[in-house]
Amino acid sequence: MGLVIASALAMPRLLRLAAPSIVLLLAFAAAAVGAPAGCASKTPCQFNSDCVNEYCDNGTCKHDCVDSALDCPIARVCSVIGKCAVDDGSGGGTSTGTGGAGVGGAGTGGSTGVGGANAGGAGAGGTTSSGSSTTSTGGQGQGGAPPVGGKELDLCQKAADCAAPLLCEPFQRNGASRCSLPCATDSECPAGARCLDVNGAQYCAAADVGKNCNSGAQCNFACIPGPGYCTVPCGSGSDCPNGYGCMPIGGQRVCIKAEAEADSCQPLGANKKCVVPAACDDTILVVSCTLACDTAADCPRRAKGLSPWTCDGLCRRPQDVVGPLPGGAPAEYACYGGQVVSLCNDAQHMNFATFSLPSPPPIQCPVNVSVPGSAGDSCVDTCRYQGGCPYGLACSALAGVGNGRIGLCLPVGTGEVGAACSKSADCVFGYCTDAKKCSRDCTADGVCPTGSKCVAPPGGDLVEGAIFRRCE
């Protein structure tokens, strides 16, 4: 998978000089996050450990299965917390990602429609870049032919390369094929994937939200014309990456981008970067896109422990967020409320190459334009496993806020699990271990390619009640 991330504009941003004070949140350490979906039982919870033989899902205890043979698809077993998970001998995992039904893109097209991937796409305009993934051949980063009878997420070239009932299908449009599970619901898929109908085959494919497109044929599900990015179905903002909320477009609830700068709020919806009938948010330092909402559940979700978005008919950013720059964009700063703050969508920034937190630039207040950060200083979004990350980024539990372990959306490269790496951006699943080997955060699903197992490294760190695990 190739890295496709937004870049900052060459010109500095004009700022709204507003007065409200904010709380600046900048905390990084070492780890990731868990996530929820629907509500099956009424027992309130905060962690999986608050539930008995169930898992914690959006504040209530829930279970998906009791009997593996009756309740779970082939190649899955019912875990001790009632989730259908891969049986890798390590006790299973907690698969996440319920919500929007992956049944292929219908789409209505036009400026307010969604161009369906299987309907050939509709609507003109938007970005013309295809954002295609980098294809990869050979064994799992080690060279040679794909394994025979491959496991889920193994690279493959033909159906015979995968163990039944797995299919050999492109994980992303124009990208490498991987052994993928046929599915009926998102909950059957590994973190970062959705149950989608791609070219007539319904299987667990990558959620390529945010990938540049100008037609549905470039997306696993559908393309939103105008702003020109791929989207997937959703039931709530929990099913979307941080920076995206869930809103109906053309009768279909899909993930809508909020982490984008708006040119103007007049007239409403005139800016093509913001999706009609979504509006601009001019209550923060940089005028930004947002989306319509009925409740806060429709709005973007940050990692647990961070202040949430709210809803007053439009999704409103939390107090510590004053800008819209997406994860991967070069960080920019301003003076606000007497403090130097980042203009990043999640108020977080880092250097991906050195995995460090750069110091903000010195700023003489007041200023009316933004100031760029140091070389390599980039915005980074936190993430939850269920919503995952936008295209070109992967959710790995490699950061911490307070005493909790949370996920970061990290750039991805081409190195398969087990391949040598110098930084996480070298790896296809966005995770390079201290031993300089590519890995995958398997905390949520227990899924690891051939040659690796999902294990908990020393330390027993918790991610929302689940022990952090990775492929080794």
Kindly report, residue by residue over 390-402, the tens digit of the pLDDT: 999 999 999 876 6
The whole-number pLDDT of residue 14 equals: 55
Predicted confidence (pLDDT) at residue 225 exceeds the cutoff of 70: yes
Helix (H) and strand (E) counts in the chain: 1, 29
The whole-number pLDDT of residue 53 equals: 61
More confident residue, 305 or 19: 305
pLDDT, tens digit, 9 for 90 and up, residues 11-32: 455 564 333 322 222 223 222 2
Asked whether the beta carbons of 279 and 290 are under 8 A apart, the reply is: yes
Asked whether the beta carbons of 102 and 141 are under 8 A apart, the reply is: no
**Sign of the C-alpha dihedral, residues 172, 173, 178, 181?**
positive
> Residue 357's pLDDT band (boundaries 50, 70, 90)?
very high
> Which two tokens mark 28?
């990084």
The whole-number pLDDT of residue 389 equals: 97
The whole-number pLDDT of residue 278 equals: 61
> Residue 59's pLDDT band (boundaries 50, 70, 90)?
low
Reduced to 3 states (helix: H, G, I; strand: E, B; else coil), residue 233 is strand
Angstrom distance (rounded) from CA 448 to CA 428: 13
Beta strand ranges found along 326-471 (DSSP E): 332-336, 339-342, 349-351, 371-372, 377-379, 382-383, 393-401, 404-411, 454-455, 462-463, 466-467, 470-471
Predicted confidence (pLDDT) at residue 66 exceeds the cutoff of 80: no
Predicted confidence (pLDDT) at residue 373 exceeds the cutoff of 50: yes
More confident residue, 167 or 85: 167
Kindly state the average pLDDT of the residues 378-407: 90
Angstrom distance (rounded) from CA 269 to CA 93: 43
On the 0-12 / 13-18 / 19+ scale of CB atoms within 10 A, 90 is: middle
Predicted confidence (pLDDT) at residue 100 exceeds the cutoff of 90: no
> Residue 344's pLDDT band (boundaries 50, 70, 90)?
very high
Amino acid letter, 220: N
Predicted confidence (pLDDT) at residue 382 exceeds the cutoff of 80: yes
Q: Residue 417: CB partners within 8 Å, gap ≥ 6?
A: 140, 141, 427, 428, 429, 438, 439, 440, 448, 449, 451, 452, 471
Predicted confidence (pLDDT) at residue 218 exceeds the cutoff of 50: yes
Predicted confidence (pLDDT) at residue 423 exceeds the cutoff of 80: yes
Kindly state the average pLDDT of the residues 351-366: 91
Kindly state the average pLDDT of the residues 37-43: 38
> Residue 250's pLDDT band (boundaries 50, 70, 90)?
confident
The whole-number pLDDT of residue 144 equals: 44
Angstrom distance (rounded) from CA 402 to CA 355: 18
pLDDT, tens digit, 9 for 90 and up, residues 130-179: 333 333 333 344 444 555 689 999 999 999 999 999 999 999 988 899 99
Reduced to 3 states (helix: H, G, I; strand: E, B; else coil), residue 383 is strand
The whole-number pLDDT of residue 415 equals: 96
CA–CA distances in Å: residue 427 to residues 3, 275, 413, 432: 11, 33, 5, 7
Residue 241 φ/ψ, nearest 5 degrees: -60, 155
Neighbours of 44 (CB within 10 A): 11
Look at 12-16, 31-35, 43-47, 376-380 and tell me which has the smallest mean pLDDT. 31-35
> Residue 246's pLDDT band (boundaries 50, 70, 90)?
very high
**What is the end-to-end Cα distance of the chain in Å, rounded?**
21
Average pLDDT over the chain reads 76
The whole-number pLDDT of residue 347 equals: 94
Asked whether the beta carbons of 116 and 105 are under 8 A apart, the reply is: yes
More confident residue, 319 or 82: 319
Q: Which of 415, 420, 416, 424 is nearest to 397 (CA)?
A: 424
More confident residue, 437 or 366: 437
Q: Which of 459, 418, 456 is nearest to 435 (CA)?
A: 418
> Which two tokens mark 289?
């896109």
Q: Which of 451, 79, 386 is nearest to 471 (CA)?
A: 451
Asked whether the beta carbons of 345 and 379 are under 8 A apart, the reply is: yes
pTM of the model: 0.73
More confident residue, 38 or 66: 66
Asked whether the beta carbons of 155 and 136 are under 8 A apart, the reply is: yes
Q: Residue 93: CB partners within 8 Å, gap ≥ 6?
A: 79, 83, 85, 86, 442, 443, 444, 445, 446, 447, 454, 466, 469
Angstrom distance (rounded) from CA 6 to CA 329: 5
Length of the chain, in residues: 472
